[in-house]
Structure 1
Amino acid sequence: MFAALPEEIHELGRAFEAAGHELALVGGPVRDAVLGRSSADLDFTTSARPEQTEAILRSWNRGGGLWDMGREFGTLGAARGDLRVEVTTYRTESYDPTSRKPQVVYGDTLAGDLSRRDFTVNAMAVRLPSLELVDPFDGLADLAAQVLRTPVAPEQSFDDDPLRMMRAVRFVSQLGFAIEEGTAEAIRALADRLAIVSAERIREELVKLLLGAHPRAGLTGMVELGLAPQVLPELPALQLEIDEHHHHKDVYEHSLTVLDQAIALESAPGSGGPCERPDLVLRLAALLHDIGKPATRRFEAGGVVTFRHHDVVGAKMTAKRMKALAFDRDTTKQVARLVELHLRFHGYADSAWTDSAVRRYVTDAGPLLQHLHRLTRADVTTRNKRKARGLARAYDELEARIDELAQQEEIGRIRPDLDGNEIMEILGLAPGREVGEAYRHLLELRMEHGPLGRERAEAELKAWWEAR
């Protein structure tokens, strides 16, 4: 299987060998090749020091790109045509108890380098150019058993790099593997040590987990192993709450089910459709949509439990948590907005909306309308089949009305019939607060009545101005 590597890779192996250095393909690409999967990453490890690696790469890539942002950690990258490789000097690394950054020390042997890898399934290498498989920790056996186990004692491995504990649950999501019990016990014991790892590195692992094939299993692992309080404390907090709409399950289980159902509603990869799989914004919104419930739980007369305004509270909590995890502003804004809007449809299910209400629904969702459609449908987890069918019919009707109005008017981007310049010209105003007030008045009329036409809009504007 490794003989099928591009000829340029075999050439690279011969170049390192000719210079008196070892080179081996390592980690994920080896694992994926054994599993019959393709890997976009080609990661190598070498006995050469960075300055020696650089000289070989510059000769090999024939003037192609070379980058050394990872030189501090012994890593250099190069490109030759469409082929990109990263080569890292044999190394060991560990964390100072008070530091968020790994300390790197170069090593001398391939076996020593492999021993510092996170899991045995990633601690296999293929020497180049000989194509000899090196598997000192029985990674092949663990691959066959679909088990995650550390090459060295798990306590040592996780103490050296606490982020490996998050990688464990990330691989549960991506590969569908189970965590070996001794490894799981070490995570439970050392979960608090994750606090020294930077938010950016934790976020990267969380995103990979959420985009994996089995995110529910990964998230469940986070909670059961005690990692969630360090990463997403709002998630285990949901286990304490009973959902007033779904008495048969707590909000935690409900949220995971909504995530599963939202994923099922994603568009096929490569389809070009909305919410193409995997969709991070949709998955985050599905997971977090009810995190405001613990803060808003109230016990009413007759034993009724309510969570009033948990949508608004949850949106604020979502933004705060995502900011703490160093998510970008745009993703944070989108997810928080979906959380805020996720209950809006329930008013429609009780009684059909006016055209004005439908316009507001579309306008408030904006470019997130397709995400909101999917989140709302996914949020139905009742076991009452009759109720579920009724909600589905109601949402079918709402989507049909949105489509109908879209054919009649530009419902997706509603604007007043007059723009700011026209308002100033008609009323003889200079730019200022009053122009904004007039604009908002006309927008409100447009929402309520649909397109007015220029003549009626001008008359309404003048009437509003005179009444002030």
Structure 2
Amino acid sequence: MYKNKKINYLRTYKNIWLVGGYIRDSLLDKITKDIDFVTAGNTKKIARKFADKINGSFVVLDNFNKTYRVVADDEIYDFSKMQGKNILEDLSRRDFTINAMALSFITYDLRLTNVIDPFNGLSDIKNKVIRCVSEKNFVEDPLRLLRAYRFAGQLNFSIERKTKGFIKKYSHKLKNIASERIQNELFLMLELSDSYDVIIKIYKAGLLEEIMPELVKTLNTARCYYPKMGLLGHSFYALKTLENFYASDFKNIFPKFYKKINTHLEEKLSKTAKRKTLLKLAALLHDIGKPKSAKKIDGRLRFFEHEEMGCDIINIIGKRLKLSNNEIKYLKTLTLHHMRLGNLTSAEKLTDRAAWRFFRDLRDDAIDLIVLSVTDAYTYPKGKTRTLHKIIANKLLNKFYRQKEKIAPIKLLNGFEIMKTLKIPESPLIGKILKELEEAQVLKKVKTKKEAEKFIKCLYKTKKNLYNDC
């Protein structure tokens, strides 16, 4: 069993208990770095003294409710004031039986006989069951409706029948929860290796409709193309396909570049989410504009401009869930351009110019878009669509990682030099000229600084992209 040596400093207190996930995870032989305490004494004083003892940082989470945090190294210790007259009343207010256990610091010995377990959490851990402590606890904090499925996915447990009934009964109460809390829970779900299974279950429980009604509305749209559940089924399958790629580390799809891609997707795009997590959300939302754009043209259902319409819907979802500006921008960029790689498959050859424009427009998100586009293609049966997407994707990656000088040439002139050469002030025109110059370099029309100066003079004079005249 895992023991945290730092918390031995607290053994002198008689009015403090270890609670929640630390006990659960220790009994499951899992290492946890989030540790919760309940105190009947001066919570703030105890937490601050503990912070001093372990050289940690003391943070006030909520002075009114007396909750405090101590951070040391990569470990988090949360201290809360006891809710109720005693530890049993406090545990009765918790979400699930597996989290409603406590251990007194008089012993701090995780033998089963020392665990305070009024709701048979030990038995539920043994039987891998998620069971609510009481129905009213869902009413008091409806976020627990989502947490039930997240814990089930995280621990590979099953939610018992009565608890499932309560979740369906109170699913509408998610509307009352702060968006930031829902966003956090959604990201925790998407971080799971099998978030597809969890998303399917919260859909069936009626919870997904409360979080992203726009996504659920795609149900049965375009069944002529997507027989199983329409576009919603396609979106779910895109998530599943992406997770299958993650599980294989992309070795079969991108055999020469899978290590670089995995490293790229591990990058944090925001304070709360990695690229690989947000890419899962992009897989779910990439076609969300199709129902609004659907039109029958010459007897065929078409979705012209669904990318732009999808971006508008993502903007609404992102703001409602309080996503950061960077997260919303990322999702909109991938949605707007998710057909672009497919368009390249119809060309006879992937030119340096086409590759340059692809990476110029997508910038840091280009790799993510390649992964999303191939994922989308692999939701279709084996055949030409899959093959061509895989070929073009690997050609783009080859140009990016092995022939970068062709699609990202070294700058021959900077903005200041352009202003000096053309004798013009700083303005948006400088950026436009830089782009034209870079494209001319990609096309090998400009190779030296002298040629670059001549090119921009001609370009500025004509005010057109007449390369042949330059």
Pairwise TM-score range, normalised by the shorter structure: 0.7 to 0.9
Matched, 1:342 2:338: yes
Q: Give the deviation of 1:382 after TM superposition.
A: 1.2
- 1:133 matched to 2:91? The reply is no
SS at match of 1:73: coil
1:281 alignment counterpart: 278
For residues 290 and 169 of structure 1, what CA distance do their matches in structure 2 show?
Answer: 25
Contact 1:25–1:126 (Cα < 8 Å) also in 2: yes
- Is the contact between residue 99 and residue 121 of structure 2 (CA under 8 Å) also seen in structure 1? yes
What secondary structure is seen at the aligned counterpart in 2 of 1:195?
helix
Per the alignment, residue 357 of structure 2 pairs with 360
Shift in CA distance, 466/66, structure 1 to aligned 2, threshold 3 Å: closer
The corresponding residue for 2:467 is none
Question: Of 252, 272, 286, which residue of structure 1 is paired with 2:232?
Answer: 252
Determine if contact 1:173/1:210 at 8 Å carries over to the other structure: no
Distance in structure 2 (CA, Å) of the matches to 1:10 and 1:224: 45
Matches within 5 A, 1:55-454: 57=50, 61=53, 64-78=56-70, 84-91=76-83, 107-130=84-107, 131=109, 132-152=114-134, 154=135, 156-242=136-222, 246-247=226-227, 250-266=230-246, 273-276=263-266, 279-302=276-299, 304-351=300-347, 352-379=349-376, 380-385=378-383, 387-403=385-401, 405-406=403-404, 408-409=405-406, 411=407, 413=408, 417-432=412-427, 434-446=429-441, 448-449=443-444, 452-454=447-449
Give 2:456's aligned residue.
461
Secondary structure in structure 2 of the residue aligned to 1:274: helix
8 Å CA contact 1:282, 1:371 repeated in 2: yes
Q: CA deviation at 1:359?
A: 0.8
Q: How many aligned residue pairs are there?
A: 439
Q: Which runs of 5+ in 1 are unaligned?
A: 92-106
Measure the CA separation in 2 of the matches of 1:441 and 1:368. 22
TM-score (ref. length: structure 2): 0.84
Report the residue type matching 1:151 in the other structure. Answer: V
Q: Distance in 2 between matches of 1:248 and 1:384?
A: 17
- Partner of 1:140, secondary structure, is helix
Q: For the Cα contact (< 8 Å) 2:6–2:54, is it kept in 1?
A: no
Of residues 243-252 and 34-43 in structure 1, the stretch that sits farther from structure 2 once superposed is 243-252
CA distance in 2, matches of 1:404, 1:372: 19
Does structure 2 conserve the Cα–Cα contact (< 8 Å) formed by 1:173 and 1:216? no
CA displacement 1:212-246 (0-9 Å, x = unmatched): 23211221222212222321112212212126655
Amino acid at match of 1:176: N
Deviation at 1:127, TM superposition (A): 2.2
Does structure 2 retain, via aligned residues, the 8 Å contact 1:292–1:314? yes
Cα shift at 1:281: 2.2
Aligned-pair identity in percent equals 26
How far the C-alpha of 1:187 sits from its partner, in A, is 1.9
Give distance in 1, aligned partners of 2:230 and 2:150: 24
Q: Measured at CA, do residues 40 and 341 of structure 1 come closer, stay the same or move farther in structure 2, by a change above 3 Å?
A: same
Closer, same or farther in 2 for the Cα pair 1:66/1:466, shift >3 Å?
Answer: closer
* TM-aligned CA deviation for residue 414 of structure 1: 5.6
The AA in structure 1 aligned to 2:264 is P
- Determine the C-alpha separation between the residues in 2 that align with 1:243 and 1:393: 29
Alpha-carbon offset, residue 40 of structure 1: 0.8
In 1: Cα distance, 2:352 partner to 2:228 partner? 36
1:183-221 deviations in whole A, cap 9, x for unaligned? 222222222211111111111111111112321122122
Structure 1 CA distance for aligned equivalents of residues 358 and 55 of structure 2 = 55
Rounded to whole Å, the distance in 1 between the matches of 2:71 and 2:396 is: 51
Q: Distance in 2 between matches of 1:38 and 1:55?
A: 25
1:452–1:8 distance in 2 versus 1, CA, 3 Å:
closer
Question: 1:434 offset after TM fit, Å?
Answer: 4.8
Give the aligned residue type for 1:170: R
Aligned position for 2:253? none
Q: Distance in 2 between matches of 1:275 and 1:325?
A: 22
Distance in 2 (alpha carbons) for counterparts of 1:56 and 1:394: 60
The letter for the 1-side match of 2:200 is T
Quote the Cα distance in structure 1 between the aligned partners of 2:396 and 2:432.
31
Counterparts of 2:64 and 2:383, CA distance in 1? 59
Shift of 1:369: 2.1
Deviations 1:321-372 (A, max 9, x none): 1122111122221222112121101112222333211111111121112212
Q: Per-residue deviation at 1:274?
A: 1.7
Secondary structure (helix, strand or coil) at the match of 1:88 reads strand
In the alignment, the residues of structure 2 paired with residue 124 and residue 7 of structure 1 have an alpha-carbon distance, to the nearest angstrom, of 20
1:440 to partner: Cα distance? 4.5
- Contact kept, 8 Å, 2:342 with 2:373, in 1: the verdict is no
Unaligned runs of 5+ in 2: 251-257, 268-273, 464-470
SS for the counterpart of 2:104 is strand
* Residue 313 to residue 109, structure 1, CA distance change in 2 (3 Å): same
Change (3 A) 1:451 1:27: farther
Which deviates the most, 49-58 or 118-127? Answer: 49-58
Counterpart of 2:39 (choices 30, 43, 46) is 46
AA aligned opposite 2:140: D
In the alignment, is the contact (CA less than 8 A) between 1:47 and 1:90 conserved in 2? yes
| Distance of aligned partners of 1:270 and 1:382 in 2 relative to their CA distance in 1, 3 Å threshold | closer
